[in-house]
Amino acid sequence: MEFSTLAPSDAADGFRVRGPNGDAVLLIHGFTSGPRSLRPWADALLAGGYTVSLPVLPGHGTRWEDLAATGREAWTRAVEDEFDALATTHRKVFVAGLSMGGTLALHLGIRRDPAGIVLVNPALSMVDRTSMLAGVLRRFIPSVPAIANDIALPGQDEGAYPRTPVAAVHELRRLITATRRHLDTVRAPVLAYRSLVDHVVSESGINALRRVLVGMHPAGVPRLQLTYLERSLHVATLDYDADAIFAGSLAFFDRLGGHGHG
């Protein structure tokens, strides 16, 4: 993906736009969703002077049948490759993600060295307990109704698939298990936003972060900063607390990167 001068007019399209401050943010969307769910956040970061990369993950942005044939290695390889490309041309690279995008951001915190990580309702545990059976159910049930648009603010649409492939749920669970196993190796400081009401991911994932990311980071910030969102549901980047997420993450990146905005 080449650098463009402006973000595309269609919010469903992925992009990579260069900013003037020398640092980059890799934004990672969630499971069955796409760039539309993060576009306002990307625009806020671009306005703050950052290069922003908002790719479409493999198996996404087409049809749910394509996601059914996509393994977790394709997702992890895609974000690793994009991080590496940004790191060759930028002083610092930050990563941020929503839901499964948060899981992949933590994966990069394990496998790479981002300057900071921002998570919004990271998928480290699932509310729907039947997801644990996805490895068996995928042989009999190709798809289930969409996991999408858990948003309190009326009129919002994250642009997710109308169906959720069960085989991909199994791959997501494999990604969650592998990521949780190594959370203690995340070196970057983490800023996490967690909705008080979330119908997709459960609280146990945040509790896992609390257990391992303790104490202070050498950059002078806590290893984990946690903010609860009182008015938003799972897709908080399109919900009532979105502006607070955008401002808070920008301030977090600015502090770690040594940037100021007046």
Catalytically active residues are 99, 198, 234
HEC secondary structure over 150-171: CCCCCCCCCCCCCEEEHHHHHH
Q: % helix / strand / coil in the chain, to the nearest 5?
A: 40, 15, 45
Please provide residue 149's backbone torsions phi and psi, each rounded to the nearest 5 degrees. Answer: 55, 40
Distance of CA 79 to the CA centre of its chain: 11
Q: Are 180 and 124 in contact (CB under 8 A)?
A: yes
The two structure tokens encoding residue 212? 């391992």
CB-based burial of residue 31 (10 Å sphere; 0-12 exposed, 13-18 middle, 19+ buried)?
Answer: buried
CB-based burial of residue 52 (10 Å sphere; 0-12 exposed, 13-18 middle, 19+ buried)?
Answer: buried
The two structure tokens encoding residue 106? 């933590």
Please, which residues have CB within 8 angstroms of residue 136's CB and are 6 or more apart in sequence?
A: none
